[in-house]
Each structure stands twice: as C-alpha cells, then as structure tokens.
A and B are shown apart, each in its own frame.
Chain A
Amino acid sequence: MTRTEINNKSSPIVIEKYLPLPKKETREFWTDNRIHHIRHLASTGKPLMVWDRCKSETSRILDRVFFLREIEDGGEGDLVSNPLDVVEVSSKICYGRLELTYPLYLGDMSFGALSGIPNIAIARAADITGTLAGIGEGGLHPEVGKCKRIAVQWASARFGLDLDVLRRGMAVVIKIGQGAKPGIGGHLPGVKVVDIISQTRRIPVGVDAISPAPHHDIYSIEDLEQRIFALKEATGKPVLVKVAATNYIPYIASGVARMGADGIIIDGQGAGTGAAPSVVRDNIGIPVELAVASADEMLRREGLREGFTIIAAGRVSSAEDAAKLTALGADIASIGTAALIAMGCIMIHKCHLGFCPAVITNKIAENPKKILSLETATRWVVNLIEGWSAELKLILERLGLKSIEELKGRRDLLVGLGLSDSSLEVLGIRGVSSNS
C-alpha cells in the first residue's frame, strides 16, 4: 500500500470542540464576547445573562436602543435565575398556519455555501426544537429532506427545484434578495462546486454558480402575485417572501403583503453570506431595525398587518436583539451567523475560499482530513435555541409580560440613547440623552 493510499483510508478527525478565537485585526460586529456568549448557550443550553452586555461594544442602531426597564433597573435586573414557565414564547406565524415552539427561524444557508453536515445539523435542530429552518438556494440535501420543519427556497437560479422538492417542508420561501447582497443573486465560487454540489444543483463542476440578479419571471409586483399564487396552488403551503432591507422597504413590504404572501423575511445590512462582491455587501442595504420598524408601520397604516408575518434577520446576536426587534414590529427573529458560531465559526471571513478551519463552509472533499461531528453540531444548535429562549423568557419576565405575543409592536417599552433624530423617528421611539 502506498503512503497516499494509507492516508486516504485513514479516518478523518472529528471536530467536537471549539477552536480558540484568533486575534482580530479590524473592527468586527461579532466581538469575542458575543462569540463567547453564543458558545456558552450552545454548550450548556442555559442562560448567561438577561440584558445583552455585548451591545456596549459596537454602535449598531439596535445597540443604542434599550428597554426602558433595563435603565430603570440600573444593572440590578441582570441576575440570571430559572425563567418562569408561565412565560410563553411559542409563536403562531403565517396567519396561524405554522406554530413555532420557540420564536426563531434558522436562516436560509444553502448546501454548497455550508458543507453538508452543518445543513443537516440546522435542519435536525429545527425538528427537535420546533422551530423552522430555511434550506437556502442550493437545492435539497437528501438528509435535510428527511426533516419536517424546513422551508424550501425558490430563488432566482431555481437550483435543483421540482414539484417534489417544493412540496417537502412546511413552507416555501421566494427569495428575492438577501441582506448581504441586495439586488444581486447568489454566488457559490467554482472552487466549492464539487460533484455532490453539481448533482444537487444540477450545474457543472468547478464553475462559479452565480444566480441571476432578478428572477427573470418576476419583473413587477403583478408577476410576484402570480408566483405566490402558483406556489400556493402547487404546494398548499404558506409562502414567505425573503427580501433585503433596502431603501424602499416599506413599499416592498406592503406590496408583498398585498400580493398574498403569508409573510416577509427582511434581511438587514451586515447579514452573513458565503460569498458576495464586497462593493455590494458594503454599500447597499439598511439596518434591519430601521427596516422592520418602517415596514411594520406601513403595514399597520394600510391595514395589512394582522396575521401577516415579519421575520427579522441580519446581525441578530442575542435574545435581547430578538426582543427589541419584536417590540419594533417583527413577529420572530432569524438567526444565521449566530447558528454558525454555535457550530464553531470563528469569524475569519474566508467562506468564499473553501478553507474553513471550523469545517463549516469548507469545500467538500472526497477524503476529508477533518469533519464536523453531526451529533455535536446538532446539539450545539439545539442548545443555542434553548438557552436563547431562556434568556428571552427572562427578558419578558423583567418586562412584566406573559408572552412574546404581548411584546409585539410595543415600541413604548424602548428608548434610544445617542441616536439621531431621523433614526428615532423611523424607529418610532423616544430618545433620552446619554447622561440621564
């Protein structure tokens, strides 16, 4: 036996532990403390804090939005106890057609962008926790297809889609845009298009898979209505429309609701991606907190809000983020990057190259040297969702609320600290000066 053959036959190292975090050379939203918090939740399934202490480290608009209760508590409300079971976080979405045990959507990461095991782990975690996982654009991984609580994505390239695939899962997502690259299509670098990806997506090996920027059969709001109707007729499932948070988001949300969709996923600036031209990622799109507040306001004004679902995505890093987005008008929050961090992502921004040290977004090799433990990865994501929801319950408890339903649209519970007058107006909250 030659040395190469021996190497080929040796079984890969199974990754079941987190890697140490590299030193960061530039400013980053996902600070070490944010990553450690998520790792705590993922390892233990237990809450670590009530109010998000990491928000002082960055200056997102949402980081400068506070629950008035936190300020009134003056730091005393931060003692973690076991949350009361009477606080209810289950949520009905899409005109009551889907019920989620925890108010979380696991956001639309494709097979191809992720290397298979993370896709399965996320889908299984959704089944275990009673949440919902979007499968992304890259077709259906056979193991993911065995899970029930998935949302099948219908994106501009239609990779690997047929009636059978569309009927799997609990909902269909028409993907119009995503927060990391509004206005352009998906992008899977050729280096990651190996045999299995080629078969799932039905595209040639080694060639960049660049999805069309628009859907070439959706050029108007009327076209969108026809597609929503056709997908509902074909599947009998609720249809969600995923868009990026962009400049005209209130009008887009109103159009999506009016055209008969069951909900909208609004993906904000700073959301993750497997690959995007940096010029697009860095210069297009607005923060999800502004987009959600403004879309919710428009939908209410037009009498379209009742039963319609708003899912907020993009830089959702903690239960407090999710709670604040809910108070601003979202029904549930979506996590993508946070789920990757739970599975060991160390945020080195190299997904497009295919050499992920945490083997989450790596190129799929025939004889890999390292693989992610499916069992551990699934447990990490399940724990994250449970620990996260426990923190959410603690927040609701501090706010004196009995359920997540009671928090929806309660902008009066929020204040802005050091925000511009224009941001406060869009958020519909009042500002306080930072020394009060």
Chain B
Amino acid sequence: MSIWRRDIVSNLRALAGVEGKTAGEPPIASMGTTNPPLIEKPQFILDHIVSDGAQVTRPSIDPYREPTETEVYLFDGEVRLLMPLIIGGLCGINPQHILVVIQACFRMGVGVHLEQPPPPTLHPDVRSMILLDAQLSMPFSIDRGPLVYHVESVEDLAKIKDILEGIGGRRKLVARIPCISSQQLYSEIVGRGFQAVIIDEELGGDEPLEVALSQADHTLKRLTINNHPARYLMSLIAASRRIRSSSDIFKLGGLGADACVISDAWRIGVDYRSEMEPSLLSERIENLLIGMQREIKLLMGAAGVSSFQSSIVGSRELFRAIDLPQNMCMRLGVKPAGE
C-alpha cells in the first residue's frame, strides 16, 4: 500500500488549491473518521498517536477567534520560522524552479534545505532561512546561512574537527544524522558547537524516526552546555520523505521536533511538474503552507495550547498512543490511550 493514501493526497491538494475551491483552508469532512490505526491500516508509529482535545479541566482555544502562535525559533533564537516547517527535496526539481520555491518559502516564513548553493544574488535575509549542505571543500565565506554536515558517527565528527575549529562560533552549524539513539554521538555534537541536529530518516539508522526523535529530545534535555540544558541551545529537526501532513508535523513536534523537513509531501500537494508556470507553483506553495499552518493551529487550539514551541515541542504527555505495545510506548515516552 502506498503511504500516499488518496485522502492524504486529496487533503494536501485541497490546501494547495489544486483541488476544490477553498485553497488554504483546512478541508471539511463529515461522518466518522476512517483514519488508522483502527480502520485504515497503520503504516507508521505516527498513525497510532493522537493529540488531545482540551475540555472541562481546562479550556480549548478557538483558533478562528483567538491568537495561537505557530512560530518556532531555531539556532538559539537566531532564525525564526513562522511555522515549524522546512521545505526539502529540491534536488529533483527543475533548476529554474528552485528560486521560485525559495522565495515562496521566504514570504511564508518557512525554511528551505538545499543540497547545492543558491544563486549568489540572493538577499542575505533570504539566505539566513536556507539550510545548506556543506561540502568539505567549500569555502565558508560564501554564505551566512546555516551549514549542514552529514554525520553518522563520532569518527565523522573528528574528520570535520579542523574545519569547525577554523570557523569557530561565527557560523550556524547543523549535524544531519541517521535515526540512531547514541548518547555518545549527541554528547560529541553538543561539545563541538553544533546548534542544530536534523534526524533524517533518509540516512537510515536502526530506529524509527519517532523513537530516535523522542530519545534525542530526552537526551539533549539531560546534556549540558555551560551548565545549561543542551536542548535549549540546540534545535531538533526531523526529516523524512514520509512526513505526509500537518498532523504528522504536529505529532513529531510533540515527540521533540522544533521543525520538520518535508519533501514528497509538498511536491505531491502542489502537483509538481517540471514544466509548470512559476507563478502557479509559487501560489500553490503559499496556499499549501498557509493551509498547513491553519491546520496546525486547529490542532493546537483543540489541545488548549497557544504556543507551538513552548507547549507542543517535546510535550509527550499531551499525546497518547492507541494500540501500541507497552514497550514501544515506553521508548516513545507516550502513554497508552486511556491512561
């Protein structure tokens, strides 16, 4: 079974304005849900996790009428995203579209993950929102934005040690790692002055993304930098091609992600084609992003939460797992439903 169930695709396309007449608005449905894990078949741990609806003991918040903040700060406050989202998966698209995507994301306050450097003419403010894959041979002076290093082990870190010492504290450094739960690796990453970690399922690893993320959040809260919990100085980002929707982003937030990198989801949502008009691409990306932000606000409001970063990120207690074994619940740090 494809991970892109028809209802998931159609929801994204309705947000983007590819289908229907209410672009940017959370789609409305009726009668009972058929969602996994109980009706549709669950494919990922995320399918077992539900968020909270606040009632009686505390009020919910009405996102149509009351303020809710989806913005998140990364790199110890130096980069502000208006929603916990970074657009990735740009390597396969028409090179002429890359700038269009970058600009649309900048307008919406969303980050971009690039593998190749962007055009040098780009405004520095736009550059600051771009997470760029670092090549070891690359001169550091070309860019102000965060640099992403691919790190799989403590040995990898040793290899880039000299480079890191050369640039000192002037750059925002990101370690992009597979789904592993190695305390030693986190300890080294923290010690070497990185300010963010991307846990990327595309790099493999021996844990599901959900578990690796939750453990990373937990580990970073225990480690310290100059007697401060490392988690407060270190941003945590989740990346996977299978992040399908705003609800996936919301739940990954609950497990500890400050932001998520989505790739297939946005391409499917805007019905990306290499020959499409730049203005249409741009419009659909903006619709999709504002729609996803509104969906996140609905989930936040329902949970009675007014700030994503202060009350959703790492709030495993707010979530419950349906039909997962006890040991998996323990590893996730999420209680079983009904408890």
A224 with B301: CB separation less than 8 A: no
Residues on A facing B (Cβ under 8 Å): 25-30, 58-61, 176-177, 180-185, 187, 189, 210, 212-215, 218-221, 224, 241, 243-244, 246-252, 255-256, 269-287, 290-291, 293-294, 314-315, 337, 347, 349-352, 361, 419-423, 425-427
- Which interface residue of A61, A247, A270 has the most chain B CB atoms within 10 A? A247
B7:A26 contact, CB within 8 angstroms = yes
Complex: chain A residue closest to B61, CB-CB:
A213
Return chain A residues, CB-CB under 8 Å to B63.
213
Q: Do residues B51 and A283 form an inter-chain contact, with CB atoms below 8 A?
A: yes
Contacting chain A: which of B33-41, B116-124, B279-287? B33-41
Q: Is B250 an interface residue (CB 8 A)?
A: yes
What are 30 of the A-B contact pairs (CB < 8 Å)? A181-B302, A183-B301, A183-B302, A184-B60, A218-B56, A243-B55, A244-B53, A246-B54, A247-B51, A247-B53, A247-B320, A247-B335, A249-B338, A271-B32, A272-B30, A278-B29, A282-B35, A284-B51, A284-B52, A287-B322, A287-B337, A290-B322, A290-B337, A351-B30, A361-B30, A419-B323, A420-B324, A422-B321, A422-B336, A426-B339
Residues of B within 8 A of A224 (CB): 56
Q: Which of B7, B319, B339 lies at the interface centre, i.e. has the most chain A CB atoms within 10 A of its CB? A: B339
In contact, B52 and A184 (Cβ under 8 angstroms): no
Residues of B within 8 A of A241 (CB): 56
**Extra A-B contacts (14), CB below 8 Å, given A278-B28, A279-B298:** A60-B38, A177-B55, A180-B33, A214-B61, A220-B58, A243-B55, A243-B56, A247-B318, A247-B319, A249-B338, A283-B247, A284-B53, A349-B29, A423-B336
Known A-B contacts A176-B56, A273-B31; A279 and B245 likewise in contact (beta carbons under 8 Å): yes
User: Is A276's CB under 8 angstroms from B53's CB?
Assistant: no
Contact A247 B50 (CB under 8 A): yes
Q: Which of A27, A246, A423 contacts B34 (CB 8 A)?
A: A27
**Residues of B contacting A280 with CB < 8 Å?**
298-299, 302
- How distant is the Cα of A187 from the Cα of B58 in the complex, in angstroms? 21
> In the complex, what residues of A have CB within 8 A of residue B295's CB?
277, 279
- Measured between C-beta atoms, what is the minimum distance from A223 to chain B in Å? 9
Known: A183-B304, A184-B301, A272-B31. A177 touches B53 (CB 8 A): yes
Instruction: Say whether B65 faces chain A, with CB atoms less than 8 Å apart.
Output: yes
From B7, B26, B60, B320, A286 is in contact (CB under 8 Å) with: B320
Whether a CB of chain A sits under 8 angstroms from the CB of B326 is yes
CA distance A251 to B29 in the complex (A): 30
The 7 closest A-B CB pairs, nearest first, are: A182-B53, A183-B302, A183-B53, A290-B338, A422-B336, A426-B338, A351-B30
Flag if B336 contacts A270 (CB, 8 Å). no
Distance in angstroms between the alpha carbons of A419 and B337 in the assembled complex: 13
Complexed CA–CA distance, A284 and B319 (Å): 9
Residues in chain B near residue A249, CB distance under 8 A: 338
Q: Say if the beta carbon of B96 comes within 8 Å of chain A.
A: no
| B337: A residues at CB distance < 8 A | 247, 286-287, 290, 426
| CB atoms of B326 and A421 under 8 A apart | yes
* Contact A221-B57, Cβ < 8 Å, known A246-B52, A247-B319, A277-B298: yes
Measured CA separation A28–B61 after assembly (Å): 31
Q: Say whether A425 contacts B35, CB under 8 Å.
A: no
Complex CA–CA separation, A30 to B33 (angstroms): 11
